[in-house]
Amino acid sequence: MYEKVYQGDTRTASRLMRDIEEGLPQARAEMKRLYPQSGKARIIGITGSPGAGKSTLCDCLISHYRKQGCKVGVVAIDPSSPFSGGAILGDRIRMSRHADDEGVFIRSLATRGQTGGLSRAACDVSAVMEAWGAQIVIVETVGAGQAEVEVRRLATSSIVVLTPGMGDEVQAIKAGIMEIADIFVVNKADREGVERTVNDIRGVLELLPDGGPQVWRPQIVKTVAFRNEGIAELGQALDGHHAFMLESGVLAKRARERAELQLFDLLHEHVQLKINAVLEKKLDPQWREMLASRRTDPYTLAEGVLKEILNGDD
Ligand SMILES: Nc1nc2c(ncn2[C@@H]2O[C@H](COP(=O)(O)OP(=O)(O)OP(=O)(O)O)[C@@H](O)[C@H]2O)c(=O)[nH]1
Ligand SMILES: [Mg+2]
């Protein structure tokens, strides 16, 4: 029922994504079927502070890869902040020139505050995009926090976007928060203070221990995204990183880790659903009262819930 996904039908692909989110068995069966074919797309993560220019860069990269004849999927992660509605809307507008392009597939995802939930969802979405034909999947998240870390695990190349005059952020890199970048983009290079920011990043990178030829040295690229400047260089840096990942065997290693993580996330989700179901039954007003008045204790209750889950009477 999802055959059209493989012919590049965007609507069917969207439906499959929705159905898998809703946990429909036929969607899960389809994911099992397409899994062996997936895992070949390049997944480019873009993170950075709000307003750094991630969506604009994303738009530039879409054009860059479309010119090379690649189909491109974009996953925009909604940080579920009060601003996110606007941000996502803005993203859609900024990328709207690709809206009618059948070779571009843009999809927003909401974070649900649950560990692993986001990477699980992003994993599924990018697998479907791949089945739909995407050779490149770009994942945009607002920097800082769990979402960023989770997306990093999914990406084959990670871009962290900085802008001039972000002294504090470079400090954050120093503190290790952003040591995760494969490529640093200093966007808004039309503004004052670019060289200072570049030098600050360079200074931090010099502090990294030389890990030898098996360890990638992060690169720095300057861009003016809204004028499409520096995008060819960024494309080159991305190609360079990808080639390095292939040759060094890191790509294969990351793919293994990703598959294990996906297994872990899925199991986590299954178990969580079971816990919720049992708790819903067990935690009636009487139990709540007993717990509150300490006539029973959470230890005993947890053991009881666990027993019920293990007996698997669902
Ligand atoms: N001066 C300057 N402005 C830019 C540049 N690139 C993007 N902008 C502008 O910066 C603003 C934010 O750009 P976005 O691409 O929405 O940034 P973002 O990081 O996706 O923002 P959020 O998704 O809201 O976190 C927009 O008004 C862009 O036009 C640039 O190179 N120079
Ligand atoms: Mg954005």
Q: Is the CB of 216 within 6 Å of ligand 1? A: no
Question: Atom 3 in ligand 1: which residue has the minimum CA distance?
Answer: 188
Give the number of whichever ligand sits closest to the CA of residue 59.
Answer: 1
Question: Atom 7 in ligand 1: which residue has the minimum CA distance?
Answer: 53
Q: Is the CB of 90 within 6 Å of ligand 1? A: yes
Please report the domains of the chain, with CATH numbers, ordered by start residue. Answer: 3-250 (3.40.50.300), 263-311 (no CATH)
Give the number of whichever ligand sits closest to the CA of residue 192.
Answer: 1
pLDDT score at 57? 95
Q: Is the CB of 55 within 6 Å of ligand 1? A: yes
Rounded Cα gap, residues 65 and 174, in angstroms: 32
Query: Mutation test of ligand 1: which of 46, 56, 141, 229 has the most ligand atoms closer than 8 Å to its C-beta?
Result: 56
Give the number of whichever ligand sits closest to the CA of residue 227.
Answer: 1
pLDDT score at 145? 62
Question: Atom 9 in ligand 1: which residue has the minimum CA distance?
Answer: 53
Q: Is the CB of 47 within 6 Å of ligand 1? A: no
Q: Is the CB of 51 within 6 Å of ligand 1? A: yes
Distance from Cα 210 to the centre of ligand 2, integer Å:
34
Q: What is the pLDDT of residues 269-301, one digit of tens each?
A: 888 888 888 888 888 888 889 999 999 999 998
Distance from Cα 21 to the centre of ligand 2, integer Å:
23
Q: How many CA atoms lie within 13 A of 311 on its CB side?
A: 8
pLDDT score at 83? 41
Q: Which amino acid is it at 303?
A: E
Task: Give the three-state DSSP class for 102.
Answer: coil
Q: Is the CB of 50 within 6 Å of ligand 1? A: yes
Cα dihedral value 162, 168, 172, 175, nearest 10: 140
Q: Is 181's pLDDT higher than 90? A: no
Query: With bands split at pLDDT 50, 70 and 90, how would you rate the model's confidence at 82?
Result: very low
Rounded Cα gap, residues 43 and 139, in angstroms: 7
Question: Atom 14 in ligand 1: which residue has the minimum CA distance?
Answer: 53
Task: Give the three-state DSSP class for 157.
Answer: strand
31 CB neighbour count, 10 Å cutoff: 18
Q: Which residue bears the tokens 């005993």? A: 300
Q: What is the pLDDT of residues 207-240, one digit of tens each?
A: 877 778 778 989 999 999 999 999 999 999 999 9
Q: How far out from the chain centre does Cα 297 lie?
A: 39
Contact between 203 and 181 (Cβ < 8 Å): no
pTM (2 decimals)? 0.87
Q: Is the CB of 141 within 6 Å of ligand 1? A: no
Query: Mutation test of ligand 1: which of 46, 47, 49, 55 has the most ligand atoms closer than 8 Å to its C-beta?
Result: 55
